[in-house]
Structure 1
Amino acid sequence: MKEIQVNHVHTKEIVVDESMLACKVGSGIVSVYATPMMIAAMEGCAVECLNPFLEEGETSVGVMMNTTHDAATPAGMKVYVTAEITAVDRKKVSFKITAKDEKDTIGIAAHDRFIVNKEKFEAKAQAKLEK
């Protein structure tokens, strides 16, 4: 693991499409950006924010997400997700994440990830099948 920069920021842009609507993913019956899809975009942005600091063979896994979804976004609108590293405690990295559409802040999150060895982590999970 390289030295991780607190306050490092990464932003990604997505366009909400029909496949991301609550009525399509099973999280409601309304035709607006689904909360689970927003959370996935937030987590993905945090992953991308942290990736430059990882060594070969390392990855990160999410362990906590505390999220609000504060405004509805229709299909066709852009969403900008920004993740900022707020703290590092050994292999635990904390983030503040904000999602905004073209009109409003639509969600905020506090998120923690742990840096792990990808091969060992996956082997431990696969070992559950052997019992």
Structure 2
Amino acid sequence: MKEVQLHAKCQEEVIVDEAKLACNVGSGIVSVYATPMMIAAMEHAAVQCLQPFLEEGETSVGVLMHTTHDAATPAGMKVRISAEIIAVDRKKVTFSIIAQDEKDIIGKASHERFVVMKEKFEAKAQAKLC
């Protein structure tokens, strides 16, 4: 892993479409942006933020996500996810993440990822099948 730059940031945008609604992903019966879809977008933004600091063969895996989902977002709205690296402890990288739609901050998260060697990590997981 290269030296990780504190306060490095990444922003992504998603459009809330029918496939991202709580009533369509099994996380509720309402027609609003589903919490699991927001969390997935938050995690994806963190992955992208860390990517420039990884060496060949490395990847990162999420180990903790502490999230609030504070406001509902209807289909058709744009959501911006902003991830920032706020701490590094050897191979553990911590992020502060904010999600906001066109009107409100809709969610916040503290997220931790560990840098691992992809092949070794996957081999260990596959060994569980034996």
TM over 0.5: yes
Q: Provide Cα deviations, 1:60-118, integer angstroms capped at 9, x if missing partner.
A: 00000000000000010000000000000000000000000000000000000000000
- Distance, in Å, in 2 between the alignment partners of 1:108 and 1:54 is 25
Aligned-partner Cα distance in 1 for 2:103–2:63: 30
Unaligned runs of 5+ in 1: none
Give the distance between the partners of 2:112 and 2:70, measured in 1 at CA: 21
TM-score by length of 1: 0.99
Moved over 6 A (4+): none
The residue that corresponds to 2:89 in the other structure is 89
Mapped partners of 1:127, 1:30: distance in 2: 40
Aligned Cα RMSD in Å?
0.2
| SS in structure 1 at match of 2:45 | helix
Counterpart code for 2:88: V
C-alpha separation in 2, matches of 1:44 and 1:107: 15
Report matched runs for 1:30-49 at 5 Å.
Answer: 30-49=30-49
CA distance in 2, matches of 1:57, 1:123: 13
- Unmatched tracts of structure 2, length 5 or more: none
Q: Name the CA distance, whole Å, in 2 between partners of 1:14 and 1:36.
A: 14
Answering whether residue 122 of structure 2 is matched by residue 122 of structure 1, we say yes
Q: Does 1:70 align with 2:52?
A: no
Q: State the partner residue of 1:3.
A: 3
Between the two proteins, what is the percent identity of the paired residues?
Answer: 74
Aligned length: 130
